[in-house]
Amino acid sequence: MSERAEPRRAAQRVVVTSPRTHSARTHRPYAAIPVMDEQSELGALYMRSLIKAQRRLGLLVCAVVCGGLALLPLLFTLAPSLGGQRVLGLHLPWVLLGVLVFPVVVLAGWFYVRQAERGEREFADLVERP
Amino acid sequence: MSNTWGVAAVLVVALGTVLIGTYGLRVSRTTSDFYVASRTVSPWWNASAIGGEYLSAASFVGVAGLIFARGPDMLWFPVGYTVGYLVLLTMVAAPLRRSGAYTLPDFAEARFASRSVRAVASMIALGIGWLYLLPQFQGAGLTLHTVTGAPTWVGALVVAVVVTANVMAGGMRSITFVQAFQYWLKLTAIAVPAAFLLLAWKAHGTVDLTGPQLPVFHEQTTVTFENTTTVTAEREVVVSGSGVVDGQRHDGPGLMMTQGGHTIEAGSRLDFPAGAAVPHVSTIASNTNASWALPMSSGERFPLYAVYSLMIATFLGTMGLPHVIVRFYTNPNGRAARRTTLIVLGLLGVFYLLPPLYGALGRIYTPELLMTGNTDAVVLVLPSRMIDGLGGQLLGALVAGGAFAAFLSTSSGLMVSLAGVLSQDVLRLGGVRGFRMSTVLAVLVPLGMTLLVSGMPVADMVGLAFAVAASSLCPLLLLGIWSTRITTAGAVAGMIAGGGPALLAGLVTILADTGDSWYHVLLARPAAWTVPLGFAVMYVVSLLTPRRRPAGTNQVMVRLHAPENLGLESSEDRA
């Protein structure tokens, strides 16, 4: 890279507001594995299945967490007595929305990361198989 | 309220930021160092930095203020701010990092290879950024006003000047360390006082926070009205002091405020006896502490719609905020981006346990804020109110310093993103000079707007920025990442169809008073109709214009989704 070749010009400031997308785009990263070359039908098929699996996983985690949360306002409206219930001296909505929701979200995130990485490992094993 | 310590804390935070900024300038190296350094940051540092930048005025003062005024429905704000990161993690984090994009317009260009998609994304990012900066400035004005009594525009100006100077000097941005430190500073500044407040509450006899009575003055309280205020008294109350009430000049003791509405002119100072029920601003619903603690008690006209719209805006809006996206570039690869986001979820969760505590304690100890309508100040006022002497003052100073740190860090992040967009896509001026000019422009617009804005709660205004992001840039990211069918025409049409109305609705609510009209909630919480609109238009127009699908979509998809563990040189290692 040119900056490194001229260390003496280090004093000159350069504004970095965007990546070098141009150089990134002219590069074909996956050509080294024949099956991942975009010309290959098989590679495209593998890729499509990976995208589909990851999309399903992401949507599933979102649907469970967001869907579960979305039920709460409805529940509190339909059964107002629920809002007055006390758990550990606090009202139920406060316990759910103020405390419990956060560990649940972290747990869901942890589950997602584990599953997504497993999916990618399996994909890598698949395409790198000789 | 004694203020020397508070002023000192704000000064320390502001000066510290400037010093670290200039110091950072000294050790700043070459452009390539900037890129290379981005790969040596660990997920923990990175996550702290994201948390530090994300926790803004809305989180630090706004959430507690809203909960204090309107009850548990407002808990959806912190929940939404956090779940937004879960959606970001599951749908966007890794592919976005792999795209190599530094800003949202960059992503738009990388995915669609189109200048026009980029231009529209830039415009919308600019709109969101300005909408988000506005409440930061407002919150700063409020903090300085609460601590020193200075007019609100002073605080806004201070933050604007400090941040502009810092960004122009080139500090802040490249220094992940500063932002990471800011998270821990903010957590300390809200957690340590909270612990002491709980102890004080126990020492005062563990007053029931949700008792059946209306909020009452805990002790004899002098209330100063800075603005002419319309209040509703639920019980009649006899006050003393001087001022103009219902058009009648009054001095001395024995003024009877009957049950019902009253107008108190600016400049009035009234003494309320201990134990009297607190009259409240007419915009806040009348609630006993018991009914306040229940859901759907905020007195809005369509509470269910408001809650769902807020959920949609915050769940989907986080990914579209200009300063959030930029932070992901410091992750070495998509996998690290995921792990970083997971840690962010934890950090946000810990922080958001605390603001509701302030909101609830405020009902007992600072109920007069319900009457002045200055509810955002509850976090700032509580410590010195509940704890006597030096201890309370020091804790109050800590909170004020933390709040100021929140405004500075979020504004800096936003300003850098906005200046980048302005210099690249609007002014088309390259180099340091162009960037500096853009910084000035980026700050002048929201600063000018603070003068026009009425007293809208800080967190509400931030909610509007989320709504715009959720209806325009969120469809662009989600559909762009997960569907190969999206065309350039679809992307442009969708962003405009969703973002345009949301932005317009936001401006109308901020600048005009739509008050009690039935459509107020549709404008103040537009996400529930603008988000589906944005998604639908983007998808349908794409299906109608299949020929406009960008060439090379498949290669881009490979780049976005191919995992790093293929053992190949991947795009992020070349950065």
pLDDT tens, residue order, chain A (130 aa) = 344 444 444 456 666 655 554 444 444 444 445 455 555 677 778 888 888 999 999 999 999 999 999 999 998 888 888 777 787 778 888 888 989 999 999 999 999 999 999 988 888 887 776 5
Q: Using the structure block, give the residue that is written with the tokens 């407040």.
A: B197
Q: What is the pLDDT of residues B158-171, one digit of tens each?
A: 888 888 887 777 64
Q: What is the pLDDT of residues B82-98, one digit of tens each?
A: 999 999 999 998 888 88
Distance (Å) from the alpha carbon of A126 to chain B's nearest alpha carbon: 10
Residues near B38 by Cβ (< 8 Å), separated by ≥ 6?
B329, B330, B332, B575
Residues in chain A closer than 8 A to B85 (CB atoms): 109
Judged by a CB distance cut-off of 8 A, whether residue B550 touches chain A is no
Side chain identity, residue B453: V
In angstroms, the CA B9 to CA A78 distance is: 48
Q: Give SS3 for B250.
A: strand
Residue B248: how many other CB atoms lie within 10 Å: 9
* β-bridge mates for residue B240, sequence order: B271
Residues near B484 by Cβ (< 8 Å), separated by ≥ 6?
B549, B553, B554, B557
A18, A50, A110 member nearest B106 (Cβ) = A18
Give residue A56's pLDDT.
Answer: 93
Q: Using the structure block, give the residue that is written with the tokens 């007069």.
A: B368
Provide ipTM, 2 decimals: 0.87
Q: What is the 3-state secondary structure (H, E, C) of B364-394?
A: HHCCCHHHHCCHHHHHHHHHHHHCCHHHHHH
Give residue B279's pLDDT.
Answer: 85
Distance (Å) from the alpha carbon of B251 to chain A's nearest alpha carbon: 44
Q: A56, A102, A112: which to substitute to probe chain B, counting the most B Cβ within 10 Å?
A: A102
In angstroms, the CA A91 to CA A80 distance is: 12
Instruction: State phi, psi for B519 to the nearest 5 degrees.
Output: -90, 0
B83, B86, B102 member nearest A18 (Cβ) = B102
Give residue B570's pLDDT.
Answer: 41
Average pLDDT value for chain B: 83
Instruction: State phi, psi for B264 to the nearest 5 degrees.
Output: -110, 125
Contact A29 B562 (CB under 8 A): yes
Judged by a CB distance cut-off of 8 A, whether residue B350 touches chain A is yes
Residue B225 has pLDDT above 50, yes or no: yes
Percent of chain B at pLDDT exceeding 70: 91
Residues near A101 by Cβ (< 8 Å), separated by ≥ 6?
A69, B79, B82, B83
Give residue B144's pLDDT.
Answer: 84
Contact B83 A57 (CB under 8 A): no
Contact A10 B30 (CB under 8 A): yes
| Chain B residues 302-321 within an 8 A CB cutoff of chain A | 303-304, 307-308, 311, 315
In angstroms, the CA A66 to CA B473 distance is: 20
Judged by a CB distance cut-off of 8 A, whether residue B29 touches chain A is yes
A17, A50, A124 member nearest B423 (Cβ) = A17
Residue B564 has pLDDT above 60, yes or no: yes
Give residue B524's pLDDT.
Answer: 84
From residue B475, alpha-carbon distances to B312, B319, B467 in Å are: 13, 10, 12
Please check whether residue B362 is in contact with residue B399, taking contact to mean a CB–CB distance below 8 angstroms: no
Residue B525 or residue B571, greater confidence: B525
Using CA coordinates, name the residue in chain A closest to B296: A77
pLDDT band (50, 70, 90) for residue B517: confident
Give residue B566's pLDDT.
Answer: 67
B202-207 CB contacts, 8 Å cutoff, 24+ apart? B204/B386, B207/B364
Contact B210 A91 (CB under 8 A): yes
The maximal CA–CA distance of chain A, rounded, in angstroms, is 73
Range in A28-42, A90-104, B459-473, B522-536 with the lowest mean pLDDT: A28-42
Residues near B151 by Cβ (< 8 Å), separated by ≥ 6?
B141, B145
Of the CA atoms within 13 Å of residue B532, those in its CB half-sphere come to 4
Residue B196 has pLDDT above 80, yes or no: yes
Of the CA atoms within 13 Å of residue B493, those in its CB half-sphere come to 18
Give residue A130's pLDDT.
Answer: 57
Quote the distance between the C-alpha of residue A46 and its chain's center: 20
In angstroms, the CA B443 to CA B130 distance is: 8
Contact A109 B86 (CB under 8 A): yes
Please check whether residue B101 is in contact with residue B480, taking contact to mean a CB–CB distance below 8 angstroms: no
Q: What is the pLDDT of residues B243-274, one digit of tens each?
A: 888 888 888 787 888 888 888 888 888 888 88
Residue-wise DSSP of B152-221: HHHHHHHHHHHHHHHHHHT-STT-HHHHHHHHHHHHHHHHHHHHHHHHHHHHTT---TT-SSPPB-SS-E
Give kind and range of the element (H or E) at residue B433: helix B431-452
* β-bridge mates for residue B230, sequence order: B263
Give residue B492's pLDDT.
Answer: 94
Give residue B263's pLDDT.
Answer: 86
B34, B564, B566 member nearest A128 (Cβ) = B566
Residues in chain A closer than 8 A to B420 (CB atoms): 17-18
Please check whether residue B479 is in contact with residue B537, taking contact to mean a CB–CB distance below 8 angstroms: no
Contact A57 B571 (CB under 8 A): no
Please check whether residue B549 is in contact with residue B485, taking contact to mean a CB–CB distance below 8 angstroms: yes
* Distance between first and last Cα of chain B: 52
Structure tokens at B474: 């969120």
Distance (Å) from the alpha carbon of A130 to chain B's nearest alpha carbon: 13
Residues in chain A closer than 8 A to B421 (CB atoms): 17
From residue B157, alpha-carbon distances to B151, B153, B208, B259, B447 in Å are: 11, 6, 41, 41, 7
Residues in chain B closer than 8 A to A17 (CB atoms): 102-103, 419-421, 423-424, 435
In angstroms, the CA B481 to CA B474 distance is: 10
Judged by a CB distance cut-off of 8 A, whether residue B345 touches chain A is yes
Q: State the average pLDDT over residues B96-105.
A: 83
Q: State the average pLDDT over residues B444-457.
A: 78
In angstroms, the CA B132 to CA B37 distance is: 29
In angstroms, the CA B214 to CA B287 distance is: 7
The maximal CA–CA distance of chain B, rounded, in angstroms, is 83
Q: State the average pLDDT over residues B218-239.
A: 82
From residue B406, alpha-carbon distances to B17, B207, B398, B403, B565 in Å are: 12, 31, 12, 5, 38
Please check whether residue B553 is in contact with residue B497, taking contact to mean a CB–CB distance below 8 angstroms: no
Q: What is the pLDDT of residues B366-401, one digit of tens each?
A: 888 888 888 888 998 899 888 888 888 889 889 988
Q: A1, A18, A122: which to substitute to probe chain B, counting the most B Cβ within 10 Å?
A: A18
In angstroms, the CA B488 to CA B115 distance is: 10
Q: Give SS3 for B333.
A: coil
**Most confident residue range from A96-100, B215-219, B298-302:** A96-100
Range in A70-79, B320-329, B359-368 with the lowest mean pLDDT: B320-329
Structure tokens at B234: 């639920």
In angstroms, the CA B475 to CA B471 distance is: 7
Give residue B27's pLDDT.
Answer: 55
Contact B72 A24 (CB under 8 A): no
Q: Give SS3 for A12.
A: coil
Q: B25, B26, B31: which to substitute to probe chain A, counting the most A Cβ within 10 Å?
A: B31
In angstroms, the CA B362 to CA B377 distance is: 10
| Chain B residues 55-114 within an 8 A CB cutoff of chain A | 72, 75-76, 78-79, 82-83, 85-87, 89-91, 94, 100-103, 105-106, 109-110, 113
In angstroms, the CA A61 to CA B91 distance is: 10
Percent of chain B at pLDDT exceeding 90: 23
Residue B202 has pLDDT above 90, yes or no: no
